[in-house]
Chain A
Amino acid sequence: LAKTTQPISMDSYEGQEVNITCSHNNIATNDYITWYQQFPSQGPRFIIQGYKTKVTNEVASLFIPADRKSSTLSLPRVSLSDTAVYYCLVVSTGTASKLTFGTGTRLQVTL
């Protein structure tokens, strides 16, 4: 299984760029990297997914190096409302066997 490792917590000031790195050394060829965001008392919300290189959407960017053993979620100019837990998942196409959310990274944004 492609177990993921991410920092337990991070702090940032409002307006800064935040980069959260996830390591997944055992990623397989048909695995995709996905990130979710969870606010207290809510279900997780999908942020972004990618396979290699760089992916960008209206919320975040995802950087994946050529060896795919790690990935970095980049949140530009965070605001207080970005305070949440962020989960990195390695999802294998065609199976639910890797659908485990680790403890995630708790991001605290302050003024």
Chain B
Amino acid sequence: NAGVTQTPKFQVLKTGQSMTLQCAQDMNHNSMYWYRQDPGMGLRLIYYSASEGTTDKGEVPNGYNVSRLNKREFSLRLESAAPSQTSVYFCASSEGLLVPGNEQYFGPGTRLTVT
């Protein structure tokens, strides 16, 4: 039982390049999330998927797209990377938004640098 896994762990991009961050969970969770964490800051929600087949914007969605490929996988795509997207990206999953408290399980993160 690996929990939430993310690939890659590290990535360096040049401005304008694109890439997809992958996330998978093996806990049969309904909801999945993408956050970014800038140095010294808390996490901010980018996009989330309440259930398979649905996605919604979070607090900071501009410059990103997501795909809920199936119940296990939720990917985050940067179409044209910008230096402002340099951050650590965390994927998380939970049983669902209707579960009181909505306990989330986080992956190890992807450290992205855009030059």
Q: Which residues of A line the B interface, CB within 8 A?
A: 32, 34, 36, 41-46, 49-51, 87, 91, 93-96, 99-104
Contacts and interface: CB of A to CB of B under 8 A. Distances in A.
A95 B33 CA distance: 12
Interface string B1-14: 00010000000000
B103 A100 contact: no
Contact of A43 (B42, B92, B100): B92
Nearest to A93: B100
Given A41-B109, A43-B106, A46-B105, A94 B43 contact: no
B102 A91 contact: yes
Interface residues of B, number: 30
Interface of B: 4, 31, 33, 35, 40-45, 48, 50, 56, 58-59, 90, 92, 97-109
B100 A96 contact: no
Contact of A103 (B40, B101, B109): B40
A46 B99 CA distance: 14
A103 B37 CA distance: 10
Contacts of B109: 41-43
Nearest to B88: A41
5 contacts: A46-B105, A49-B100, A96-B33, A99-B33, A101-B42
Query: DSSP majority for the A interface?
Result: loop
A43 B44 CA distance: 13
Contacts of B101: 32, 34, 49-50, 91
Contact of B97 (A43, A44, A93): A93
Contacts of B31: 96
Contacts of B106: 42-45
